[in-house]
Amino acid sequence: MTTVLSIDQGTSGTKAVVVDGSGKILGLAEQTVRPHYLPGSGVEQDPQELLDSVLETGKAAVTQSGALIDIVTIANQGETVLAWDPGSGKPLSNMIVWQDRRAESICAGLADHREEFASRTGLILDPYFSAPKQAWIRKNVTRDGVVTTSDSWLIHQLTGEFVTDVSTASRSLTTDLDSTEWDHELLDLFELGDEKLPTILPSDAIAGSTSAFGGLMAVGGLIVDQQAALLAENCLETGEAKCTFGTGAFLLANTGTSATRSTAGLAASVAWTVKDKPTYCFDGQVYTAASAVRWLQGMGFIKSASELDVVAAADSGGVLSVPAFAGLAAPWWSPESKASLTGMTLSTGPEHIVLAVLQGIAAQVAELGSLVATDIGTPLQRLRADGGLTQSRVLMQAVADLMQIAIDVYPSQHATPLGAAALARVALEPSLPLQDAVVPWSPSTVYEPKWSADQAAEFRARWATAVDATR
């Protein structure tokens, strides 16, 4: 059976797992990485810190496992970008993180092309995606080297190759959703037409080889972190959906093999391409989930995320939160929105604010679920959930209450690396069907709605009014 070193390089940390063909984890190493939040809505990371975290966690997991590794895979942040020298591999800028909003002026300058971007790429013209940030680097930081998403730089450091994967490319605003190839007219609009572009690989491709973690190992099965979690949670059929509760919360729904565009304000992109057949997904984003919890911690309302359920009140006492610390995504696409707390009185305490923030996260997820239902033509029947914040029973119950459906919690904290590992197996064993590469699972916890449909509708209406006040 294929043994995989699967590395999840995320916004707040890097995780490496060694997993065998049955899904058993043989080795695990994690390392925190911290984004730097700058004035003017800037969010950056140190490229060398990210690379070091990949190398150190990968080596530690391999050592812990004592296993012979057949293939390495990396799941990446998707829309985080940097400039770098393709000759030396040296970074020429910091990583500009997906949360960064400094490219708003670039998107505003292209507003007349909004429908063109939507029809060709399936995406909304917004600084969240990678091309606006790449253009921002070219205008404000450096014209030297190449400017790519973080995966291309990390893979180059490991293999010397200049590639990206199809799911990452589809998050750029410069990839045609139907052909899954670079769209040179859209690149020209961002003034990126003369850039050297990485080769777009299917999800089941071998990208190269590396000896960075010990002996010589293949590298392949590359994918964006959120799509990797969609795969791990076995969302292989149209309409099956998951939400990952990490730094942000990301709800993705499988939309099958047709490149369908959203009519409800969601992003449409490639989930994965296996055996030359793309599978697509709709996705919606809550920009601040765990990062909103870190705000609660920084303000002294909780000492750590583990205290959320201990501190949270049974009722918010009328307090509502719109935790738009980095703006709002679908369906509002309002980067200028700011976080808000309303309905406070002299009797409001930390317990009410903690619950209100958790309910605000849940309300955004519920809005995304409604958008998916509009697009696919039928309500979601269940939602699969993963990520660190699924440990909060209060948050998960709020999601179930507001969505009025059952929430199935994935039994592992490692959905992203396990999904990437499934693709790595298929890359190394092309005859292996994708569904056979995914490890079967059963929920660790199921949350059923406790609120009535009327309660949920009343809360969502009040919360929607609070959202309108932030825009």
Alpha-carbon dihedral sign for residues 395, 398, 402, 407: positive
pLDDT at position 326 is: 87
Nearest to 421 by CA among 11, 17, 10: 17
Q: Cα(462)–Cα(456) distance, rounded to whole angstroms?
A: 10
According to DSSP, the residues that pair with 209 across neighbouring strands are 218
Position of tokens 């980067």?
A: 335
Nearest to 296 by CA among 287, 286, 305: 305
- Which residues of the chain, if any, have pLDDT below 50? none
Nearest to 342 by CA among 458, 460, 464, 466: 466
Q: Cα(135)–Cα(191) distance, rounded to whole angstroms?
A: 7
Per the CB < 8 A criterion, the answer to whether 103 and 127 are in contact is yes
324: Cβ contacts below 8 Å, ≥ 6 apart: 287, 288, 334, 337, 338, 339, 340, 467, 470
Q: At 237, give phi and psi (nearest 5°).
A: -110, 150
pLDDT at position 330 is: 87
H-helix or E-strand containing 99? none
For 176-190, b where at least 16 C-beta lie within 10 A, e where not — what string?
bbeebebbeebbebb
Q: Cα(260)–Cα(98) distance, rounded to whole angstroms?
A: 24
Q: Cα(106)–Cα(95) distance, rounded to whole angstroms?
A: 18
Does residue 32 sit in helix, strand or coil? Answer: strand
pLDDT at position 182 is: 98
Q: Cα(374)–Cα(239) distance, rounded to whole angstroms?
A: 11
Q: Could you say which DSSP state residue 163 is in?
A: E
Joined tokens for residue 464: 């929607």
Q: Cα(128)–Cα(151) distance, rounded to whole angstroms?
A: 16
Establish how many alpha carbons lie within 13 A of residue 371's alpha carbon, considering only the half-sphere containing its beta carbon: 26
pLDDT at position 362 is: 98
Per the CB < 8 A criterion, the answer to whether 365 and 384 are in contact is no
Position of tokens 């999800």?
A: 203
How far, CA to CA in Å, does 158 sit from each of 3, 151, 304, 430, 452? 18, 11, 35, 23, 53
Does residue 80 sit in helix, strand or coil? Answer: coil
**DSSP H helix total and E strand total for the chain:** 15, 23
Q: Cα(204)–Cα(191) distance, rounded to whole angstroms?
A: 31
Per the CB < 8 A criterion, the answer to whether 144 and 208 are in contact is no
Q: What is the identity of the amino acid at 303?
A: K
Position of tokens 């808000």?
A: 340
Per the CB < 8 A criterion, the answer to whether 281 and 240 are in contact is no
Q: Cα(70)–Cα(64) distance, rounded to whole angstroms?
A: 16
Position of tokens 């959202």?
A: 467
pLDDT at position 247 is: 86
